[in-house]
Structure 1
Amino acid sequence: MQVFTPALVFQRTPSGKGRDKFSIQCLECFGKNLYIGTKEGAVEYLTVNNPSSQQSLTVREVGKRQMGRSGAIIKLTAIPVLNHLLVLWDGSITVLNMFSLEALPALKKIPNVLLFAVSESGIQRDSAELIVASSRRKTVSVYKVHVDRWECVKQVVLPQEPVLLAALGTCLCVATCDRYFLHDHQSQNTTDLFLHNLGKQNIIANKCGKGEFVLNGPGCLGMFVMKNGTSQHPPVQLPDGVMDAAVHFPYVLALQNQSVHIYSILDQQLKQTVPVHNARSLVPTEESVFIVTDKEIQRLSPVPLEDQIHELVNRQRVEEALTLLERLQHLLPRDSYKDLHKNLICTSGMIKFYREAFVEAKELFIKGDLDPREIISLYPAMPVLSEDFTPQTTAVSNAKDLWTLSRNDWPTFQQYLSFLDDFLREVKPTAQGQTCLQDIDSALFKLYLEQGENEKLDQLVSTQNNCNLQMCVADLEQHKRFFTLGLLYQSQGQHFNAIQTWIKIVEDESEDPSNTSVFQHIVKTLSNLEHKQIIWKFVDWVLRRDQEAGILIFTKTNAGNHNTFVPEEVFTILNSYPVALTLYLEYLVNESHSKEEKHHTMLITSYVKRILRSLADDHNNESSTEEMRHKLQQLLWQSSFYNADQIYDQIASSSLHVEQAISLGKNGKHKKALQVLVNEEKDQQAAECYCWRTSAGRDKKFTQTIFLTLLQIYLESSHHVIAAVDLLNKNPESFDLSSVLMVLPESWSLKVVLRFLCESLRGTVHDKRMRGLEMSLAKVETLRHRHALMAATHEKIQVDRGCVCHSCQKRLTGAEFLRRPTGELTHITCHNGVATMNRQLIQHMF
């Protein structure tokens, strides 16, 4: 690839008069100014204009100075801040004016110079630092160069004689006859780098950027060395016979006699070769690199970064383009870099996409914020709905026609469809996906519909989506997916159309075998709906088909509408549906815990009607009737909000004797209730259970009274003597012995009631003893509390030595006194006898 564009800057045309002795020896460049040092000892000054076209440069000769009759100009170096041009000729350094090429007499020549280097970091406003190596000496001199003078400020001794020299600040990079090393002339620290073979390769030690040198290492390795001896870049393998090297980041240029090889520092690969003839050296500048040959000078101008990247992309070397862009992003405006970086990532994703590396492609598309419509538009039958969309993805050479692939290679095309599904679902929550939600959802809809992925399709349309309704309705009707069509209507807020569509499926007006629980779904939808008008339109249809399912519309615990309807509204429609009405009343009483008398009475009445209707039916289900009676009895016992008189009037003439007894008991008519159970129901166990259940939680006297009532009812008939005896023997603790003895017939023998008497007497004695024991325990507890009180109020108090006896007026030494609960002082003992103190004095002292 082309990373530099060559252009001819200067060429000396042969004069035609004999042999042309002109030969370029060295070159110095500063801005538009070129200084050529010839082999014949001349310095030529040229200016180069930079037109828009790099292929046609305008060069103008400004001046020329002949340094002597013979001898080559070894090196030229400009110091722009001083307007000096340093010329190394005839073993000495001469200073010329940069523009007039006149010698400066104030600056005398520096003789016996082998090498010199100007330290760029040493250049100040009015001076510069010059490093001079004399011939055949290990010492280098450091000069301070001014406008009209220079002075030697330091002599630096090196380990070996220098053959090549470069300087950055106070750091010198020195090449000797067998090695390279770094030497800091300020700290006098020396760092050995590596050996070289001077006999087999040219030595190179050039500056290349801030704080870095490029060296020709062993085996022609181009080594990059920082001032501290470390390297930030891997070495580059240079060609054999390299004469010079220069760096124009991120490329290193290696000069041979007939060509220039250009390598990338980033991946160490050869990028370009430029042919030349009789090359001598390379001169790098910030803008370009000059190639110096015997008769001409060429300039290598870097190709703009965008053009390099586009060429790499066209060759599908996207990773290389990304590396190049990231390392050179400081050369681009921020916005341009971001756009170019995204385009590169997306292009790399497209290449991976067509290589069927779908995981990597998806990651690159998302990382590059690729517009999802770019991918959607690649697929057949996946229209992009946005009118303002125009594809902008860079074309890649390995692109496939997915239309053709869908017809000729279906298994491979299936993989592309799976990728589209994964990519669209993952990109949908991102910022890029939020800009085209309708295109994403509509594409997913078509994909699932065509592939027959019913579960994914129903999940898509049943949640919040942005599918194009007009397009999707037509497609679903064509594929007879009416249940899914209802889900789509529902997600779009068209609840009436959704339920109407499902009703057609239930009533076999529309054929859709994809879902068999449509009716349950209708009920679920209505139970979660908050639109009362829509519910009223369809609730009759649901109740006619299934009352038990239909009542869920009003009773489902997680419904959003069960608080929307007041019970009176629900009763108006449920009056025609007794089963549903009963279920709704059960919901109000058992789950909503309603305390309204009407609800409890209506529920009991509903139970009664259904039981009586069932009993009147010859083909009734006995187990169902018994279950209903059990629920009725439980409600009668547990509820305290129904109208007991009204309920009794309804069942008074029926065979529901147990229910009659419970209703009578709610009004306190226990004797009549027990008479119903004994005489009409003829169920002794039910009567006994009634007594226990009624007396639960009541005092003992009430329990004895109600059991005595049952005993009296038994004693009223001679048929219930055995029942009376059993009642006494089984429940002796529930009777008062004296009351029982008063009602027992005189004809009964002692043997009949002997067991009752024994148990009752035993219980009486036990109760008496327990009461005595409880009384004794209470006395003990009282004594314990009194003892605790005495211990808390009768205590000794220690009197300090500073207190005075109230009687003898002498100081107390170890006195103690006892205070009673009344707060009075009984006595105080001191060393002079017994004395008394009044209560006020005690309070004052303590």
Structure 2
Amino acid sequence: MDPMAFTQTHIYTRQAKEKDKYCIQCLERFDRNIYVGTRDSTVQHLTLAQQPQTQTQTQTQARECRARKLGPNGPVAQLRTLPLFNHLLVLWERSVTALNMFSLEPIPALKAIQHTSCMEVSTSSSSSSSSSPQLELITSSSRRKVVRIHAVRVDRWEVLREVSLPQDPVSLAVDGPCVCVATGDRYHLLCDLRAGGSMELFPHGRSRQQGALVVPVGGGEFLLNAPGSLAMFVTSTGTCRRPPMPWAQDALAAAVCLPYVVALRPGGLSVYSLLDRALKQTVALDGARGLVSGPGGVLAFTDRQITGLSLVPLEEQIRALAGCQRPGEALSLLDGVRGHLQPHAYEELRKDISYLAGVDRFNQQAFAEAKELFITGDVDPREIISLYPDMGPCLGDEGFVPRRRETTGQKVTDLQRLQRLQREDAAAYRRYLAFLADYLAVVRAAAVAAGRGGGPAETVDCALLRVYAEQGGGGGVEEEEGSLRSLVASPNACSLHRCVAVLEQYNRYFVLGMLYQSHGNHTEAIKTWVKIADGHTEDSSCPDVYGHIVSTLTTQDTDTVWMFAEWALQKNQEVGVQIFTKHHQDDPNTFRAEEIITLLKNYPHASLLYLEFLINEQRSETESHHTRLALAYVLQILEDEAPAEAGETRRKLQDLLWTSACYDVPAVHEGIRATGLHAERAILLGRSGDHDQALRVLVHEARDPGAARDYCHRAASRGEAAGLRETLLLALLAAYLSSDDLAGEAVEELLLGEDSLRFPAGRAALELLPGSWSVGRVGRFLVGSLRGTLHQRRMVGVQRGLAQAEFLRHKALWTQASQTMVRVHRGQACRACQTELTGSFARTARGDLLHTHCMKTQNHPDTQGRPLCSSQSSETEPAASRAFIDRPARARSARARPAVIGPEGRAVSDDPLTAAGA
């Protein structure tokens, strides 16, 4: 059964009497007072009872009070109350008269307003310049095409203004300062009662007998008839803010009771919604003549009967719509009447109806709309979680009662339906799971942003974890796996005793370890991952569990590291040692190197890598570390079967032996004495200073000429003594010549090889050569050595000649500059510092005069820091009066010659080496 917007109540019935012509013509209501105008010129006053409306429709609820006969005949056309003055206005026989609302006695001071066809009272009261209150009465003339605005006071009324119309007014309505008038064929809008101004609207298409409806809606809006069986809503500006509403063409009257419009038809009443403009209810009422709106309902009257339509409380209507599985209409009605409800009641209803509307869309798999309804309605997420099977443990140990289902009366069928889908249609059920995951993720993000926690947060996180685990439980879906890891890796409110079983059920052991880790239980987390790495549990979601364990241990405390270090080293020494080499420790003393080295004794490769870390990255200068690393290299070389890897290790060992100055040479030498590492033993002998023995090892034992030659070069580059390279080469030559078998190699590798020119072509080399060798055998060496010596001597001569030429060029330049006459003016400034030339000064090749100290600081390119000509003032006379220049020795024999007086009266010297100072 559809919910009702109004309930029908019987108000009053006039009992039929003999020769009784009683017929209700119009009706007016104020509070509990009902005024009835009859066809036989009678005004009757009825009073509604105060008791609750428990009577049946046949019982009378109105009591007759007074009645007044206005005249012999003529119907009462309209009744309007003025509660401010206790006046009752009566339109009878085309004139408006005023009666007392309670005694129905005429008011003599208010004379009748003649020739009136209809009237309305303005609901907006105003005050005039006087202290007495006044209201406004709008009347239409029955003789002229005008509408009058009257000012009504307690004892008088007067016409304020008249508004002309193109046709005779038929009906009118007032809403605040606006008046809407229906004329013979169209509507007119008077926008402001005082300022004036009218607007012509659309035609209504109704005859005078049918009557054009003009109904005030409120807020400056009117309900009007429009052609085509439509009702138009026109505002005070002449525009429509609502779409047209379809309704019956034969509507006789209408009344507004927000949010509904009640239309009177010949067969009864029709109730329309102002929100969605749909027909909501019909009421059968034969012979109805008119409607009057009042507080909380509408009064409808027939010839002898009055029926009331009481508005069902809005909350009750909304809940009834929700109970009839029409949550969309309930939500629309709730939003439309928000201003008529208490804020708390609105919020509660909003949550209830949003939940039901969301579940309705949820059942139709319109998941986007359902999520929007759940979120905007601030629905408790536990209400949605409770719809899913297997989610009971997520709701808590004490359980959760779905309050929304109880308050709205919804049948609990969703849970059974999802259980059936889970068994019969896995694909459809996965779509519902995807919706739950999406919805809970949004709720969780909003809660985190708002800083909320508590029970709902724990339930949401537990449910979200279960959904993610169930979504990817069978196929390892990457998206769900990433979301699950993101959930447990971030701060979360997941309960361990609820979520551990879920993750174990779906073989999510790696995520289980992450969950332990997010709750600070790092040891349990690593133990869980160790079981995966050892094969005790299966979880293919993380292919490199071992690497993750090692990476995690690099951030843990010492106790946790020591607990799992040996296990990691046993798995893989190269990766396991990263626990120590890549450990993020704020305190460098967290791990002591000696303890780690002791632990790594049984893991030679890991020990070698850790020692490399200490020396290459930590820059350790501890002797034991360098010694151990060298011996570790030796051990690895001896055990390594791959030639390439052994060669790389030997290169590292040799670099360490050459570059490090911290290892124990005797200890390392003892470690490699019995091995075939001749090059390394030679390096150690060289570090001890025994280069001759080192070269003998390379020549006689290693049989490696290249290594011996490289040894000489590298040892010479490290040595500080001059001529060490030649000494080593001579020692190498002696080593070769000490054996008859190697004499030929000495000739080929040293005397005739690339190092032959580095041998001193002197007695030292020649004395080493056997006397039995012929000149032809060593002739090439001797010729090359002599040629090299001669070339070097000639190059030295060429360099000396070039230097002398450069010296002569500078000397010629200096001489040429010195022969130029220098004239110094009074107040002449130094070119560099721009101060007056005093004391000692010099002249450049360009002719610039500078102080000698400026010349030194400037390092002038023309003189390369050397002045071409200098002068120094006498200490006893001003600089402007005397100056002299030191002459070379060859020029000092010439004594001072007579000075030449220049054009400016200054002394000018004709000596090329003398400059006269001003």
- TM-score of the two chains, using structure 2 as the length reference: 0.77
Alpha-carbon distance in 2 for matches of 1:120, 1:457: 67
> Kindly, what percent of the aligned residue pairs are identical?
38
Question: What is the deviation of 1:244?
Answer: 0.9
Question: What is the deviation of 1:314?
Answer: 2.4
Q: 1:602 corresponds to which letter in structure 2?
A: R
Aligned counterparts, 1:364-375, within 5 A: 364-375=373-384
| Partner of residue 234, structure 2 | 225
Change (3 A) 1:500 1:733: same
| Partner of residue 178, structure 1 | 185
Give CA-to-partner distance per residue, 1:111-146, whole Å, 9 cap, x none.
Answer: 122222222235447011222222221233322211
Aligned counterparts, 1:112-151, within 5 A: 112-124=115-127, 126-151=133-158
Change (3 A) 1:666 1:325: farther
Q: 1:339 corresponds to which letter in structure 2?
A: E
Change (3 A) 1:560 1:412: farther
Structure 2 counterpart of 1:692, from 713, 724, 727:
713
Question: What is the deviation of 1:254?
Answer: 1.1
| Partner of residue 855, structure 2 | none
Give CA-to-partner distance per residue, 1:675-724, whole Å, 9 cap, x none.
Answer: 44334433221122223334458889557555655566468647457546
Alpha-carbon distance in 1 for matches of 2:399, 2:849: 103
Whether 2:432 is the aligned partner of 1:416: answer yes
Whether 2:280 is the aligned partner of 1:280: answer no
Q: Is the 8 A contact 1:180 1:194 kept in 2?
A: yes
| Partner of residue 758, structure 1 | 787
RMSD: 4.2
Aligned counterparts, 1:64-463, within 5 A: 64-124=67-127, 126-184=133-191, 186-199=194-207, 201-384=210-393, 385-386=395-396, 387-394=398-405, 396=410, 399=414, 400-431=416-447, 435-443=455-463, 448=469, 451-454=473-476, 459-460=484-485, 463=489
Aligned counterparts, 1:610-629, within 5 A: 610-611=636-637, 622-629=643-650
Change (3 A) 1:677 1:47: same
The SS at the match of 2:580 is helix
Structure 2 counterpart of 1:567, from 581, 593, 598:
593
The SS at the match of 1:794 is coil
Whether 2:579 is the aligned partner of 1:553: answer yes
5+ residue gaps, structure 1, are 615-619, 800-817, 828-832, 837-846
| Partner of residue 606, structure 1 | 632
> What count of residue pairs does the alignment treat as equivalent?
803
Alpha-carbon distance in 1 for matches of 2:746, 2:507: 74
Deviates more, 1:473-482 or 1:71-80: 473-482
Give CA-to-partner distance per residue, 1:218-249, whole Å, 9 cap, x none.
Answer: 12321111111111111112213211112222
Question: What is the deviation of 1:774?
Answer: 8.3
Aligned counterparts, 1:512-523, within 5 A: 512=538, 520=546, 523=549
Alpha-carbon distance in 2 for matches of 1:165, 1:468: 70
Give CA-to-partner distance per residue, 1:750-794, whole Å, 9 cap, x none.
Answer: 54333344345445655665687689889999999xx9xx99933
Q: 1:34 corresponds to which letter in structure 2?
A: I
The SS at the match of 1:793 is coil
Alpha-carbon distance in 2 for matches of 1:237, 1:622: 97
Q: 2:592 corresponds to which letter in structure 1?
A: V
Whether 2:66 is the aligned partner of 1:42: answer no
Q: 1:752 corresponds to which letter in structure 2?
A: F
Question: What is the deviation of 1:653?
Answer: 5.3
Alpha-carbon distance in 1 for matches of 2:792, 2:829: 43
Change (3 A) 1:369 1:120: closer
Structure 2 counterpart of 1:63, from 61, 66, 80:
66
The SS at the match of 2:339 is helix
Give CA-to-partner distance per residue, 1:466-510, whole Å, 9 cap, x none.
Answer: 5554455566777887777666655554454555566666667x4
Question: What is the deviation of 1:643?
Answer: 3.1
Alpha-carbon distance in 1 for matches of 2:648, 2:427: 62
Question: What is the deviation of 1:519?
Answer: 7.4
Question: What is the deviation of 1:744?
Answer: 7.7
Deviates more, 1:1-10 or 1:427-436: 427-436
Give CA-to-partner distance per residue, 1:375-411, whole Å, 9 cap, x none.
Answer: 3333333323411521123354674533344445455
Q: Is the 8 A contact 1:715 1:724 kept in 2?
A: no
Change (3 A) 1:756 1:346: farther
| Partner of residue 754, structure 2 | 730
Change (3 A) 1:342 1:765: farther
- TM-score of the two chains, using structure 1 as the length reference: 0.83
Aligned counterparts, 1:795-806, within 5 A: none
Deviates more, 1:714-723 or 1:630-639: 714-723
Q: Is the 8 A contact 1:164 1:174 kept in 2?
A: yes
Deviates more, 1:680-689 or 1:327-336: 680-689
Give CA-to-partner distance per residue, 1:419-465, whole Å, 9 cap, x none.
Answer: 44444444443428864354445445555369435565795596466
The SS at the match of 2:403 is coil
Deviates more, 1:163-172 or 1:698-707: 698-707
| Partner of residue 10, structure 1 | 12
Q: 1:293 corresponds to which letter in structure 2?
A: T
Q: Is the 8 A contact 1:195 1:217 kept in 2?
A: yes
Q: 1:637 corresponds to which letter in structure 2?
A: W
Alpha-carbon distance in 1 for matches of 2:905, 2:108: 128
Alpha-carbon distance in 2 for matches of 1:374, 1:771: 103
The SS at the match of 1:284 is strand
Question: What is the deviation of 1:263?
Answer: 0.8
Q: 1:5 corresponds to which letter in structure 2?
A: T
Alpha-carbon distance in 2 for matches of 1:147, 1:389: 66
Q: Is the 8 A contact 2:682 2:695 kept in 1?
A: yes
Change (3 A) 1:33 1:705: farther
Alpha-carbon distance in 1 for matches of 2:427, 2:276: 39
Alpha-carbon distance in 2 for matches of 1:418, 1:577: 50
Question: What is the deviation of 1:203?
Answer: 0.7
Q: Is the 8 A contact 1:428 1:434 kept in 2?
A: no
Alpha-carbon distance in 2 for matches of 1:193, 1:659: 112
Q: Is the 8 A contact 1:161 1:176 kept in 2?
A: yes
Q: Is the 8 A contact 2:554 2:583 kept in 1?
A: no
| Partner of residue 562, structure 2 | 536
Q: Is the 8 A contact 1:819 1:826 kept in 2?
A: no
